[in-house]
């Protein structure tokens, strides 16, 4: 009985501490004059091991509730990632979690979150291998996730320019990480990816996919022609 009461007390204290931490982080983010002031204040907060993620969660939460995206949040997230790799790792986990539950977000929140992560990617505050978690096929996406991907890549194009974006996405060292964005497992998925990026004004980054599709089509046609030229077998 005593042990149960002690465990309940510890759980209650832990929950209270977590609520207080989130409140402190929220007030720090919302009351600071600029992102640098907010960043320095956040870094001074004494955190228990594992609590760093709460800072990242609250930052994204505050960002998502704005009527329109504010660059302040992207700059603050970038600063935290650059100073402490733990924050970078936590933002990566947040990216995966938010994408997996993106259908739960209202369109405005979805837009703000996509722009926030686009800023982190464009400034290399977040490693680009996080894009491996996105599988761009008709079956693996929903209307919400397509909106998220659309905004994410349009923002990356705005930050970097289409040429730099294309160069980053065709980096041979990152081929495995981007394979799910530009699938080549079957023509249907390849066409879907090409059509998606073309529809959002970024058809230029699908050049390699188009070449792949064209090569496959030529091989298929060549095989058909070869078969048609074969002499009929004699009985």
At residue 164 the predicted structure's pLDDT band, cuts being 50, 70 and 90, is very high
Sign of the alpha-carbon dihedral angle for 106, 121, 68, 51: positive
Q: Give residues with Cβ within 8 angstroms of 105, minimum separation 6.
A: 64, 98, 113, 144
Instruction: Give the model confidence (pLDDT) of 54-89 as tens digits.
Output: 999 999 999 999 999 999 999 999 999 999 999 999
Residues 101, 102, 106: CA angle, nearest 5 degrees: 125
Examine the pLDDT at 140 and tell me if it is beyond 50.
Answer: yes
Provide the total of helices (H) and of strands (E) in the chain, helices listed first. Answer: 11, 0
Write the CA distances from 24 to 46, 57, 97, integer angstroms.
11, 13, 23
CA dist., res. 101 & res. 113, Å (int): 12
Cα–Cα distance, 176 to 174 (Å, whole number): 6
110: pLDDT strictly greater than 90: yes
């Amino acid at each position: 009985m005593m042990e149960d009461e002690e465990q309940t007390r510890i759980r209650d204290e832990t929950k209270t501490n977590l609520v207080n931490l989130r409140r402190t982080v929220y007030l720090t983010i919302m009351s600071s004059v600029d992102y640098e002031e907010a960043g320095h204040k956040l870094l001074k907060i004494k955190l228990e091991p594992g609590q760093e993620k709460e800072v990242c969660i609250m930052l994204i939460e505050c960002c998502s509730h704005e009527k329109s995206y504010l660059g302040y949040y992207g700059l603050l997230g970038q600063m935290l990632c650059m100073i402490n790799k733990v924050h970078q790792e936590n933002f990566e986990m947040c990216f995966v979690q938010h994408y997996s539950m993106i259908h739960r977000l209202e369109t405005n929140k979805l837009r703000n979150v996509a722009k926030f992560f686009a800023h982190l990617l464009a400034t290399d505050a977040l490693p680009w291998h996080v894009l491996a978690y996105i599988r761009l096929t008709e079956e693996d996406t929903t209307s919400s996730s397509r909106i998220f991907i659309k905004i994410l890549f349009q923002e990356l194009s705005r930050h970097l320019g289409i040429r730099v974006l294309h160069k980053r996405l065709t980096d041979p060292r990152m081929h495995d990480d981007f394979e799910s964005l530009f699938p080549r497992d079957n023509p249907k998925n390849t066409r879907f990816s090409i059509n998606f990026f073309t529809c959002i004004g970024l058809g230029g980054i699908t050049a390699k996919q188009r070449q792949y599709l064209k090569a496959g089509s030529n091989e298929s046609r060549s095989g058909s022609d070869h078969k048609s030229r074969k002499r009929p077998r004699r009985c």
